[in-house]
Structure 1
C-alpha cells in the first residue's frame, strides 16, 4: 500500500556489530504488534540473520518471536519503528558510503479475512542509503 515509504531516508546506522534502519507502517491505521508476521532485512543483498532481528517501537525492543504475543501494544501509523539485527560480514558489503538496503515486512490485518484466514500483506522497500556509524 505505502511500500515506497516503508524505509525512512537517512536512517541506516551501524553500532558495533549491529545494523539498523527506521521503518514506517505500510498501512493506513495502527495495528497491534502481534500483527508483525515477519521481517526480512538485507544490505547489499547480504541477509541480516532473522534470529538476530529486533523491532523497537515507543522505546520498547522485542524479538520477532516476542511480537507474536504483544496484542496489548500497538504500532501507530505516525510512529517509526527500528528494525535492527546482526551486521553481515563486511566482506559481503559493497564498498563506499552508500549501500542498498531492503526490508520486507509481513503484516497481518486482524480485522480482514480472506478464505477464512486473516489477511496478510507483504510490503518490500529497497533504498540506497548512506551508512552512518554510531561511535
Structure 2
C-alpha cells in the first residue's frame, strides 16, 4: 500500500455546519513532528478550501495550519487520525457522495538534500466518499 492510499480513510468525511470535517492519516513511513507539516490543501467536489477556514483538531486541541511550525515537540503518529475542520464553503450534507482530494506538504527532518535542507515532499490522495454525520470528539481521537 502506498503512503497516499492511507492518507484519507474511507470513513473520514463528515458533514459539519457550513463545511465538513475530514480525518487524515500521516502519509509517511515514520511518525513526524507536526512542525514537519508545511501545508494541507483539501478539495471537495473540485472546490478548494479557503486556508483561512481550515483548522486541525489534534488530540482535543485545535490549531491553525500556520501554528504547526511551533509544534516541533508533538508527533503525528503513523496510525493516528487527525481531523481537518473546514468551517466554510463547500458544505457537505450527511449521506452525500463527494469527490475528496487532499495534498499534504511535508518536510522530512532526518533526510537532508543539501546542507541544512530537509527533503520536501507532497503526498496527495483523492477518492469518492459518502459523508457521515458529526461524531463526538472522543470518537474522533481513535
Q: Is the 1:49–1:86 Cα contact (8 Å) retained in structure 2?
A: no
Q: Is the 2:53–2:88 Cα contact (8 Å) retained in structure 1?
A: no
Q: Is the 2:44–2:90 Cα contact (8 Å) retained in structure 1?
A: no
How far apart, in 2, do the equivalents of 1:86 and 1:44 lie?
16
How far apart, in 2, do the equivalents of 1:29 and 1:20 lie?
24
Displacement of 1:124: 0.5
Per-residue deviation, residues 21-73 of structure 1 (Å, max 9, x unmatched):
11111111111110100000010001111121112222221100110111111
Aligned pair count reads 131
RMSD: 1.8
1:104 aligned partner:
103
Q: With the length of structure 2 as denominator, give the TM-score of the two structures.
A: 0.84
2:119 aligned partner:
119
How far apart, in 2, do the equivalents of 1:10 and 1:78 lie?
15
How far apart, in 1, do the equivalents of 2:54 and 2:90 lie?
16
Displacement of 1:9: 0.7
Which stretches of structure 1, 4 residues or more, deviate above 4 A after TM superposition? Answer: none
2:49 aligned partner:
48
1:64 aligned partner:
65
Displacement of 1:18: 3.1
Displacement of 1:89: 4.1
Q: Is the 2:49–2:90 Cα contact (8 Å) retained in structure 1?
A: no
Displacement of 1:15: 1.6
How far apart, in 1, do the equivalents of 2:73 and 2:5 lie?
28
| Ranges in structure 1 where 5+ consecutive residues have no aligned partner | none
Q: With the length of structure 1 as denominator, give the TM-score of the two structures.
A: 0.88
Q: Is the 1:100–1:128 Cα contact (8 Å) retained in structure 2?
A: yes
